[in-house]
Every structure is written in structure tokens, then in C-alpha cells.
Amino acid sequence: MNKTVQRIIIAVSVISVTALFAYFLKDILIPYIKLEIAHDLDGAKELLVSKGIFGFLTVVLVEALQMVIIFIPAEFIQVSSGMSYPFYIALLLCDLGVCLGATIIFVLVRVFRFSSKASELGEEKINRLTVGKNKSRGTVLMMYLLFIMPIIPFGAICYYGSRRDLGYGKYIRTVATGVIPSIVSSNVLGAATKYFLGHSMPIWLLVLIIILLAAALFTVLALFLNKIYFKENEGTPDSILNDAFFRFFHFLRKRRQRLHIDDSLIRDLPAPYIMLLNHESFYDFYYSRQLIRSNNPAYVINRHYMSRKISRKYCEKACFIPKRLFVSDFVTPTKIMRTLRKGYSIVIFPEGRLSITGRTYPIVDRSASFYRRLKVDIVFARINGAFFANPKWRKKFYKSDIYLRAEKVVKADEIKAMSDDEFKELMDSMIYHDASLNVVNKYPQKDKAEGLEQVLYRCAFCGSLYTTKGVKNDFICSACGKKLHFNEDYHFTEEPHTIGEYYDRIIELEKKELDSLDFRAEVDTVIFSEEGRYRTKEQGVCTLNKDGFSYSSAAHSFSVGYDLLPALPFSCGKEFETYHDEKLFYFYPKENRIQVARWALIVDLIKELSDENEKQS
């Protein structure tokens, strides 16, 4: 459509809207408000009756034309209609007007290829809120979300939907239902204002009515979405809930982390395949999703995130595959194979836990037989820059550049030909990463050391326990007075230069004391059932010695040998955890919770010695 025709359409539309507004204001709205203020209900009714169908038509046309023009606010006509007509009529008229406007926009875009500066600006604002692939389910979800956001005009949303790969039927159903919350809110505001003016309603009651009606409406809309749209591709990575999950985290992270993607090795790689990555930060699942652009993968996640009924239902519908950390089971492999057979790739972080020093944790499960049975390609990928952006021991985020790269593709036939040792060596070499040796950002912040004592719990110089403290950019031991300072590369200015090297010194100190190992801690315990049906709390005592880990309380008593305890996951300065009898136990030391890092390290060291002895024998 040429610019002259566009200008004519806009001019005619503006004149029509202006005329309708003038008529509506002069002959209906203003007289009506005056009559209501005067409590002349009979006169108000006569006014409405006298205008008849033309008053109805005015609402429909103004609502439609304000969408086409975009910059005319919809709230005015919606509030006005709510004040002038019964609620159900006002709702119907406004919704008809929206559908008419949406249809006009659809025809203008699809048939006449119409475009204007206003529609382009509106769509540009929407695009800043969106992420992901151009699929109809994503468009529908985004339109629903945009309709309940006050910052985006209805017309801009309809221009956005019309330019996407969306059929008219689904498009108009989405518009007709998506605008209802906003229309009802405006209509209710108009109706409540009319009653407020005519019956001296208390202002608090007016506000309460509006809030309750809006809440009820949004609940109904949520139920409708769940029954109609959220069922699409349910239980797969293509589900609308999976898409919503990653859109939400894109909104959280897009302004804080700048992602640099190198997907050249997998851009044309057909699904399904397995992707294995190192694990530097909590948001690695989001970062890795940006690396896989050609298909939506499923993720293997900590089963604890699904311990509550609501989260479990959501994760199941969004196709997240649960895994009990460091515990063998048959459920997870079965779900992985089923997902692969459906044609979806799988993302796995084989470390099973976040790095605490920037170095990759030893991989406990490197079974070549499992990956052979999957009969798919394996992609090894690497995340760099995420560790110092938000390490496990620090709550604050630093704005960072984060690099993701597909490093190597190993074909299924190659995996089949590998020995177990060859596969383990390949996995160790491809997954291992040391963030301190690959610093890709500068960190001028003044609080880089704060919280570091939750990992470096022991002085590497005097050996004192729990005397270290991160203060701004300094790491200080209160026992010997030793102070180390971080530079902008997140390195200490003297030896040991990195967090990993400092941790190595702690490891050597702990190894010397393994023979006299005897830990004991009184703990507050939180117990989650396997299916998340209940959570209980109690108090007990944890012990750790050369024979293994033990826990005792009034209700529970068990011991776990190191052959069944490959690792002891923990949250810095909070708790450590383990599974027993299909339950997940969280142990919170009553005193000095920094010690949880020591418990976890000791288990790692004993596991390492056990593996070495096994190799020698």
C-alpha cells in the first residue's frame, strides 16, 4: 500500500473518530453525567433510550477505530460505556468493537501490507519484551500477556499478532478473550463510578469492589487459558508453559547479562541429541537455551525443585525431567529415552551441582553404557563468564558478558565404538573448565570478596577453621591477620592467585586430618517426601567419620556408607542434603552454618581416595 493511500485512510479514520467522539461527548456522555450527579435517574434512562441503536454503534466504532489508529486510548470509551449502559451490554459492545478493529487490522496487514510509523513503534516496544521462535503458540501467549499490560495499546498488539504466523480464527479468539480483563476493569470502573456518584457509596467500598471483580475476572481468564491454550503440546518442550518459563527468565536476565553465542557446530544439527555442559551458575539453564535455537530441548533438573505439588505439576507439563542428585534410579533414564524418541533434545549438566570455586566439579556419573543406549549424538558445550557474574556464595549479580560455545559433536557411532575409559576421558576433558583461568570480564566492583568465607572456610596460611572473612575486596584471616586483595580480574594480587588455588591449599590441610575424621553437628532438619505430598520438620544430630554419614532424631535413624554417598550437595552458609528411604533430608546446622562447605569437601575427598584405591586394585 503506497503512502498516499495510507495517509487517506489515516485522515478519514481520524475525522471519523473525532466526529464520533464529539457526538458521544456532546449528546450522550456529558448530559448523562449531569443527570446522574443530579440524581435524575429517570432522565438518564430517557437519554439512553432516545439514542437507541446509534449509541450502541458509537461505542463499537470508537472502540474499533481507536485500535486502528493506535494512539487513541481505549480506556476512555470503555469507562464511558460502563457509565452509560448496563454492565453486560457495555462489555459486549466494547468486545465487538475490539474484534471489529482487530479484523480491520488483520485485513490491512495481510491483504494490503499496511504499515505505519505508529504500528512500527508499538511493535518495536513489543519485540523488546519477546524472545524465542516465531511460532503461533508463542504469539498467542505473548498477546494474552500484553493485553493485561497497561503500557501497550490494543491496536499495537493486534498489529503484532497480524504480522505473525497466526490464522485468523486463533487470532480473533485470542483478541476477543484477551481484552476481556481490561474491558471489564474499565466497564466496572465506569459502572462503579456511576453508582458512587448516584448513591454516595464510600470510596473504600468502591475500590474494594473494583479489586474483587478484577481478581475474579483474572481467575476466570486463567482457568480458560489453562483449559484451552495451555493444553497445547502439554508435557513436551514445545508446551506453552515451557515457553512462558523461559520468557520470564529472559525478562529477568536480558539487561544484566550480554550473551555471546557460537552455535556454528549445531546450527544445522538435527534433533534429537544430548547436550552436556559445565555448570557455573544457577541461570545456566537459561543461557544454554539461547545456544539451542533450532529446537526446544528438555532439561534434567534437581528433583527437589519438583518437591511441591504445584511446582511438580508445572514442571511435568513443561517437560522438565527430574533427577535425584547422586542417587541411582530408573525413572530419569526412562523419561530421557521417551523424550528423545519424541524427537526432543536433552540438556544435562553432568556435574550435578554448581561450581563453588569456578572449577568444574568431578563428574560422578560418566557411564558410557547409558549414552550408548540412547543412540543419539552428543554435543559438548561450554559456558564461560557466568561464574563470577553470580557465584554460588554471593547473592548479588554483576553485569557480565557470557560466552556459550558448542565445542564438539560426537556422533552416536563414535560413542558406540568408544571404551568406557575413553568415554570418561572425553567427558572429563570436554566438561572441565576453570573460570579463573578464562576471565572474560573486568570486575571493578567494591564487594567482590563478600561471602567468600562460605567456601574458603579455612585459612590457607595458618590453617585456622572459620576465621576467614570477605570484606569488600579483601579476604582476611582474623587468627593470623593475613589479608589478600582481589584485583579487577577476580585474582588475588599475591599467591594463591585464584579461588581455586586457595581451595587447593584447604584440601591439602583437610587430607592430613582425614585419619582423625569425626564430625558432629546438631541440626534443624526439613524432610520432603518423594512426591512432595508433605514436608516435616524435626531436630537431630549428624555425624561424619571414616565409616560414613549418619543421622539420628526421635523419628529417624540411618547411616550411609561412602559407596552410596558419592557427594553431599550443599547451599553455602545454609545446609547440606541427602536422600534416604525415598525422602530428601535438608540439614541446617544450629551453630556455624559455614561448616556445611567442610562436610561436603570431606565427602568429596573420601570419594576421591576410594576411586584411587579402586583403580590401584
Could you tell me the CATH number of the domain that includes residue 409?
3.40.1130.10
3-class SS letters over 354-417: CCCCCECCCCCCCCHHHHHHHCCEEEEEEEECHHHHCCCCCCCCCCEEEEEEEEEEECHHHHHH
261 lies in the same domain as 393? yes
Question: Which DSSP string do the residues of 166-213 spell out, in sequence order?
Answer: --HHHHHHHHHHHTHHHHHHHHHHHHHHHHHHHHT--HHHHHHHHHHH
Do residue 607 and residue 463 come from a single domain?
Answer: no
Cis peptide before 496 (omega within 30 of 0): yes
In 303-357, DSSP assigns E strands to: 320-323, 346-348
Contact 530, 586 (CB under 8 A): no
203 and 143 share one domain:
yes
Question: Is 446 within the bounds of a domain?
Answer: no
Q: Which tens digits make up the pLDDT trace of 200-235? A: 556 666 567 666 766 666 666 666 666 555 566 778
> In the prediction, which pLDDT does 304 show?
78
Reported as a single tens digit per residue, the pLDDT across 414-444 is: 999 999 889 999 999 999 999 999 899 999 9
d(CA 337, CA 318): 17
Q: What is the pLDDT of residue 130?
A: 46
- pLDDT-derived band at 285 (thresholds 50, 70, 90) equals very high
- The C-alpha cell of 591 is what? 551453630
Complete DSSP assignment for 410-438 = E-HHHHHHS-HHHHHHHHHHHH--BGGGS
Alpha carbon dihedral 250, 253, 256, 257, in 10-degree steps, equals -70
What pLDDT, on a 0 to 100 scale, did the predictor assign at position 324? 84
Q: What is the mean pLDDT of residues 71-81?
A: 57
| Single-letter code of the amino acid located at 79 | V
pTM (predicted TM-score): 0.69
Question: For residue range 478-517, what is the model confidence (pLDDT) as tens digits?
Answer: 999 999 999 999 999 999 999 999 999 999 999 999 988 8
| Residues with Cβ within 8 Å of residue 168, at least 6 apart in sequence | 106
pLDDT at 414: 94
Which residues form the domain of 608? 514-616
Whether residues 223 and 252 share a domain: the answer is no
> Where does residue 491 fall: left (phi above 0), alpha (psi -120 to 50 degrees), or beta otherwise?
beta
Residues 299 and 417 grouped into a single domain: yes
244-270, pLDDT tens digit by residue?
A: 788 888 877 777 788 999 999 999 999
Same domain assignment for residues 294 and 346: yes
User: Does residue 443 belong to any structural domain of this protein?
Assistant: no
Number of domains in the chain: 4
Q: How far apart are CA 496 and CA 498, in angstroms?
A: 6
Instruction: Specify whether the CB–CB gap between 562 and 517 falls below 8 A.
Output: no
My answer on whether 73 and 174 are in the same domain is yes
| Together in a domain, 414 and 367 | yes
Mean pLDDT of the residues in the chain = 81
Averaged pLDDT for residues 279-284: 92
Which of 40-44, 166-170, 342-346, 536-540 comes out lowest in average pLDDT? Answer: 40-44
Task: Check if the beta carbon of residue 562 is closer than 8 Å to that of residue 610.
Answer: yes
Do 164 and 181 have their domain in common?
Answer: yes
Residues 268 and 221 placed together within one structural domain of the fold:
no
Asked whether residue 537 is assigned to any structural domain, the reply reads yes
Any domain includes 43: yes
Query: What CATH number is associated with residue 526?
Result: 2.30.29.30
**Is 409 among the domain residues?**
yes
CA-CA-CA-CA torsion for 537, 541, 543, 547, nearest 10 degrees? Answer: -80
Last residue of one domain, picked from the residues 511, 535, 562: 511
Helix/strand/coil (H, E, C) string of 504-572? Answer: HHHHHHHHCCHHHCEEEEEEEEEEEECCCCCEEEEEEEEEEECCEEEEEECCCEEEECCCCCCCCCEEC
- pLDDT by residue (tens digit) across 110-130? 777 666 554 454 455 455 444
What per-residue confidence (pLDDT) applies to 108?
80
CB 440 within 8 Å of CB 401? yes
Task: From 437, 470, 494, give the residue that closes a domain.
Answer: 437
Q: How many helices and strands (H and E) does the chain possess?
A: 21, 17
- Look at residue 115 in the predicted model and tell me its pLDDT: 62
507 versus 161: the higher-pLDDT residue is 507
**Cα 398 from Cα 378, distance rounded (Å):** 32
Instruction: Please check whether residues 174 and 275 belong to one and the same domain.
Output: no
The verdict on residue 445 lying in a domain is no
Question: Does residue 235 form part of some domain?
Answer: no
Longest dimension (CA), the chain: 101
Domain stop point among 403, 437, 471: 437
Question: Is 214 inside any structural domain?
Answer: yes
500 and 568 in a common domain: no
Question: What type of residue sits at position 543?
Answer: T
